[in-house]
């Protein structure tokens, strides 16, 4: 991956509505765009402002939480009670109040059925703690659709999200769709959406907020 220093893209247009007006529920996509030099280099390499991706799931205790794979945790994992590298389950408010940059939210329509909601929770718990795929070339190959099919032993951030959505039938699996290992964060953004959706599923709108966000 070419991570040569480059100028950062223009900041995105922010939502005029407050965050509390946006329904954060299971199936919601959360996109991240950081402000650090490293984030800027990743934006350049992927040719997109969005550098990370996560998914809202319902925790076993009923609360919407964030499922993500990361090598740079910024908040404690809710299952183990401390920071965790790899697949983690974290409080949404914690991330919103600590992340420096921009956050994009997109809702899934139609809403998840009760069965798929439960299946998504089960996938999150089964994936919890799986190591992060730290290959510096994995994301770049994903952007070019050149990764082999993942084996589920490690996850890159967007690969985890895509695998979860394939598990519940929102995204098509190969051979109809592409491998979860060949998705990047920008594929889930409104302006650059490139998704192998099934049936009537779609992600609607996109609300963008400057973070950190303190309730």
Tens digit of pLDDT for each residue in 141-189?
Answer: 999 999 999 999 999 999 999 999 999 999 999 999 999 999 999 999 9
Per-residue confidence (pLDDT) for residue 8, from 0 to 100: 54
Question: Which residue would you say has higher pLDDT here, 205 or 104?
Answer: 104
Per-residue confidence (pLDDT) for residue 13, from 0 to 100: 79
Residue 38 has pLDDT above 60, yes or no: yes
Could you tell me the pTM of the whole model? 0.91
Residues 51-71: pLDDT tens digits? 999 999 999 999 999 999 999
- Extended beta strands in the chain, E state: 29-34, 52-58, 64-70, 86-90, 101-109, 202-211
Indicate left, alpha or beta for 205 from its phi (over 0: left) and psi (-120 to 50: alpha).
left
Instruction: Please check whether residue 187 is in contact with residue 193, taking contact to mean a CB–CB distance below 8 angstroms.
Output: yes
Give me the domains of the chain, ranges plus CATH numbers: 23-210 (3.90.1720.10)
Per-residue confidence (pLDDT) for residue 121, from 0 to 100: 98
Instruction: Please check whether residue 118 is in contact with residue 100, taking contact to mean a CB–CB distance below 8 angstroms.
Output: no
Q: How far apart are the first and last CA of the chain?
A: 37
Separation of alpha carbons 23 and 28, rounded Å: 9
Looking at residues 119-141, what average pLDDT do you find? 95
What CA–CA distances, in Å, run from 34 to 14, 28, 177, 196, 200?
15, 20, 29, 27, 32
């Amino acid at each position: 991956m070419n991570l040569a220093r480059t100028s950062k893209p223009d900041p995105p247009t922010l939502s005029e509505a407050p965050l509390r007006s946006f329904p954060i529920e299971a199936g919601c996509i959360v996109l991240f765009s950081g402000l650090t030099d490293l984030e800027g280099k990743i934006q350049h390499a992927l040719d997109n402002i969005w550098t990370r991706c996560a998914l809202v799931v319902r925790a076993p205790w009923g609360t919407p939480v964030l499922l993500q794979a990361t090598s740079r945790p910024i908040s404690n994992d809710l299952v183990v009670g401390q920071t965790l590298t790899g697949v983690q389950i974290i409080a949404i408010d914690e991330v919103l109040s600590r992340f420096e940059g921009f956050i994009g939210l997109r809702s899934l329509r139609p809403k998840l059925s009760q069965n798929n909601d439960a299946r998504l929770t089960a996938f999150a718990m089964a994936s919890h703690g799986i190591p992060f795929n730290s290959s510096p070339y994995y994301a770049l190959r994903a952007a070019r659709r050149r990764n082999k099919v993942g084996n589920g032993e490690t996850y890159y951030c967007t690969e985890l999200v895509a695998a979860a959505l394939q598990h519940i039938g929102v995204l098509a699996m190969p051979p109809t769709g592409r491998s979860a290992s060949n998705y990047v964060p920008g594929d889930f953004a409104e302006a650059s959406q490139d998704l192998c959706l099934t049936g009537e599923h779609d992600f609607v709108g996109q609300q963008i907020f400057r973070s950190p966000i303190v309730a």
